Every structure is written in C-alpha cells, then in structure tokens.
Structure 1
Amino acid sequence: MKSDGSTPGMSDDELLYEVSERVATITINRPDRRNAMNGAVLEGMRASLESAKWDPEVRVVVLTGAGEKAFCAGADLEQTMPASSGGGPVAAHYGRGVLAEVFRDIFSLGMPVVGRINGHALAGGFGLALAADILIASDNATFGTPEINVGLWPMMITTVMKRSMPPKVALELMMTGRRVSAAEAVERGFVNKVVPASDLDDAVAEVTRELASKSPATMRLGRDAFYATLDMPADQALGYLQAQLGVVAQTEDAVEGMTAFLQKREPEWKGR
C-alpha cells in the first residue's frame, strides 16, 4: 500500500489512501456516484485498513468520501444486482458479506477510526460511518436507512446501528426509512460533533492530533477491551477488564506515562 494517494489494484483510483502526520486517510473517490461502494471499493478498503494496521507510522485512521455532497450513499445498485454481478444469486450473496468483513477489520484495527462525514451517509454508507469510533459531521450531512422504501432491509448494518444508538431509535430509522439531520444525529448520540462544512477539516485534524498523541499500545489494548466487552454479561466483563488492566499496567508506555507525570514532562511513547 502506498501513501501517495493511490490504491494498488484500482486503476481508476476509486479509493484513495494517504498517510500524513501519523494519520491514514481512506477516501472513497466516486463523487459522481455519491461515493457508492462497489466490490473494488470494498476490497480496496480492506487492503487499506490492513496496511494502516501494520504501519508503525500510523496511529489514527480517517474514513471519508470525496466531494462535498456525500460521505457514502451505500452500495452501488447498478453493480450489486445479481444480473450485473456475473455470478448469479450465490455470488451476490457472498459478495454482500464483504461489508461485514470491512466492519470486522475496523473493529479489530487496534487504533482509533474517525469518520469525516462530509455529506449524505445512507444505507451501507450509514453503517460504514457508524463502524468508526468517532464521527465528525458537516452541518449538511444526513443519515438514514432508505432500504425499506425499495422493499429491502438494512440487514448488514443492524449490528453497528444497535451498537451506536438505543434499539428503539435504530428500529424506528430502519422501519421508516426517514433521514436524520446532523443536528438530530448528535442528539441521538451517534455523531460526536457537528461543524460548518468549511470547518470540517480543521475539526477532524484537531481530533486526530489529540488521538495520535496518546500511547498506541494503551490505545490498542483499551479499544480492544471496549469492543470485546460490549456484548458481554456484566460479571464476565468485569473479570475480563480486571485482567486487561493488569496487561496495560505492565506495558512500557504505562511506566513511561506515570514516570513522565511525576517528573512533570511530556511522555515519550514507545508503543509497547
């Protein structure tokens, strides 16, 4: 994977990957299709996430879409219908599972993922946004699951919706297909911050700088523990977290952090 803005294997650069100042930015570059996801985009995203995961210079990942109108409008319907897939209904069935693999890649990434929501985030694009840890949205962004309007159901994003908002809120959105404004998204708790479109890049940069300044070892262990305990019974989660605290306390970064605090200086993280 290269950091010059191109993604290997995608000749028309439908997905861009760039690393700068410890931040890897993954951009769906199909503004003429409202950044809808096709198979090449999904596979390219998986490759980009894998590259970021093992790059020692990367501490934060940003997901976004090109242009100012759409973050991602979901699946590209012209390229996901069985007739156009070339492989029939069985191939289409397994092809839909690639989005689930992207979600798994994000959950197991080991570093923070920030969603830069620059416009509409709909259907699978809404799910992609919700898979991120922190969402910063422009004030013209909208969110929704319009699948019900065409006789479908947002099966593949149900898990990330339930993890990001109360169940009744998620079910209402899935059953009605209505769009949610950025302001309402903050009220509902699945967007962290809304800013004017002109301030979006600065707001995202502020968050990524803060995240990149933390211990990468502690961030990975803490983030992994957070997701591992989301669906655990409380008693099981308490035991797991106690064990993980012991692991964190034994890292070199924990020792460095406490030493730096006592010496009134900035810590120098080693990532181990």
Structure 2
Amino acid sequence: MVRAGPRTAVPPVLLGGPVYSTILYSVSERVARVTLNRPDARNSLNDTMVDELLDAFARARDDDEVRVVVLTGAGDRAFCAGADLGGLAASGVAATREELRASAPFRLFTAFPKIGKPVLARLAGHAVAGGLGLAAACDLVIAADDVKLATPEVNVGLWPMMIMAVINRNVAPKHAFKLYYTGERITAAEGREIGLVTEVVPRAELDERVDALARSIAAKSPVGLRRGRDAFFAVEGRPLEDAVEYLLGELVELAATEDAKEGITAFLERREPDFKGR
C-alpha cells in the first residue's frame, strides 16, 4: 500500500519549457501533473499562478505524449484556498466586457473545456472558495476522506459568483444554495453525495488510486478522449434534437479514425488495442 504523505514545495524545475514560480509541472507515463505550489499560502490563487496554470494547461494540450492531466496542491493542508485576497481579489474591478474577459478568473475557469484531455483533481487538502471551484472545474475529483469543502464567501459579505458557473453544473440547486447561504464546511463524503466529488478514498490510498485511474484513462484512445470530451462541452444547453444531430455527426467522424478502427479490430481479435492518437 502506498501512503500519501505530505507533498511539500520544491524549487521550480525547468522541463523543456518555462520556469514556474507558483506551480510545478511534470510528465510521466503519459500523465501531466500540475501542482499548485504555494503551500505557505494554502496554495491560494494569484495572477501569477493563474498565468502559469494557463501556460501549463496549454503545454499539456499541445503535447502528444500527454493523455491525462492531474491537478493537485502541494502539501496536505489545502488543495487550494481560493483567491489570494492580497493579490488576485485586490487587483482591481473589471468594468467593461473586455476587462471581464481579460480577468484572471474568467481566463482560468473558461480554460478547462479547451484543454482537450481528461483532467483529474487530486484533493489531499481542503478545497474552499475558488479552490472548490477549481476542483469542480475538473472532470473527475478524487479526495482523501478527511478533506473538507466549502464556499465561505458569504461569511465576509461576498458571494461565490465566479465558481457558481462550475459548481451549479455539478450540484442540484437545493444543495448549492445550502453551500452558498451557510458557508459551512462539508466532508468529502458529503461532497460525493451532492455531486462535487467523484471518489473518496482513505488518505493512505489517495496516490495509489489517482495514479491507477490516470493510467487507466491514459491507456484509452487519445483521439477518442479528446473528441468525446469536446463533444460533451459542445452539447451543453443545446436542445435535444440539435444535440443528437451534432453527436451523430461526431460519431461518424470518430468511427473513421485509425484509433477507432484499431479498437474494433483489437476487440474482435481479443487483444489490447495499440492506439496512436490518429
């Protein structure tokens, strides 16, 4: 059994790309690991971290060797505590539509559907405020059983405006309103019950489970994963007939790919497929 011990901050590392000051980026076995690396600040978000996250997401998107992205936080105290009130939240109020779209929160949360690859959140620490929104923006969320989740903005006279866009896509209104109205912390298990968390595992098994799930997904066809994930976001909010028409067209195109043909052939020949991403 692999124990998920604390993951402390280490100096930034150059990996054939930019040197990051607030995150870590590494690739192994077709999985890119992106780590929020401000443990002394509970991995809170500032403008620099948002810019570096967006760069890391773009690197993962454009790297054919990467098939899955794992987003996590350094240490076991916090996955992410949300916005750094001394930085991101105090950077000024956007007034125009152009300023809003150029703001760090807008750029960050609208980036997830464009990554083109499955994104898993590994929660070894608490996820609160914008940190919970960051986790909710991921496709899957695997949490240690002692992790807590919360939207405490109401306690300081604010409201989780930005993160409602992603939380409301995962949680039914009655559960969402309770989070927003009370600001109370809930357990990872309660988060699973309302749709915020995919799986809850004992802390000692967290890394083992995240690694196994990431490897399992990475073994699938990258072209199938990308086109399927893109289609998932493309049909959100569409009328049923429009969605079915669009998805049928996507299925026809996907079935013509080399990976789909290889997958069907491998199934008929009772062997593991050798996907090439084409």
* Distance in 2 (alpha carbons) for counterparts of 1:107 and 1:154: 20
Does 2:231 align with 1:225? yes
Which residue does 1:53 correspond to in 2? Answer: 61
Give ranges in structure 1 of 5+ residues lacking alignment. none
Which residue does 1:33 correspond to in 2? Answer: 41
2:88 pairs, out of 80, 90, 105, with 80
Give ranges in structure 2 of 5+ residues lacking alignment. 1-11
Shift of 1:89: 3.6
The one-letter amino acid paired with 2:249 is A
TM score, norm. by length of structure 1? 0.92
TM score, norm. by length of structure 2? 0.90
* Distance in 2 (alpha carbons) for counterparts of 1:16 and 1:221: 28
Q: Does structure 2 conserve the Cα–Cα contact (< 8 Å) formed by 1:61 and 1:114? A: yes
Shift of 1:20: 0.7
* Distance in 2 (alpha carbons) for counterparts of 1:41 and 1:60: 21
The one-letter amino acid paired with 1:251 is T
The one-letter amino acid paired with 1:223 is R
- Mark the CA change 1:270 to 1:81 in structure 2 (over 3 Å): closer, same or farther: closer
- Mark the CA change 1:116 to 1:14 in structure 2 (over 3 Å): closer, same or farther: same
* Distance in 2 (alpha carbons) for counterparts of 1:182 and 1:74: 17
Shift of 1:94: 4.5
Which residue does 2:6 correspond to in 1? Answer: none
> Secondary structure in 1 aligned to 2:164?
helix
The one-letter amino acid paired with 2:67 is R
CA deviation string 1:4-62 (max 9, x = no partner): 5697254xx32111111101011011111111011110000000000000001100001
Detail structure 1 runs of 4+ shifted over 2 Å in the superposition: 2-10, 88-91, 93-97
Does 2:257 align with 1:255? no
Aligned residue runs from structure 1 range 64-75, under 5 A: 64-75=72-83
Which residue does 2:27 correspond to in 1? Answer: 19
Shift of 1:90: 4.2
CA deviation string 1:91-114 (max 9, x = no partner): 9x7498322222222111111000
> Secondary structure in 2 aligned to 1:178?
coil
2:215 pairs, out of 205, 209, 216, with 209
Higher helix share: 1
The one-letter amino acid paired with 2:201 is V
Which residue does 1:145 correspond to in 2? Answer: 151
> Secondary structure in 2 aligned to 1:35?
coil
Shift of 1:159: 1.2
> Secondary structure in 2 aligned to 1:27?
strand
Does 2:14 align with 1:8? no
Does 2:171 align with 1:161? no
- Mark the CA change 1:212 to 1:4 in structure 2 (over 3 Å): closer, same or farther: farther
Count of residue pairs brought into register by the alignment: 265
* Distance in 2 (alpha carbons) for counterparts of 1:227 and 1:170: 21
More off after superposition, 203-212 vs 165-174: 165-174
CA deviation string 1:179-230 (max 9, x = no partner): 1101111111221111111211101001001100000000111111111112
1:176 pairs, out of 174, 177, 182, with 182
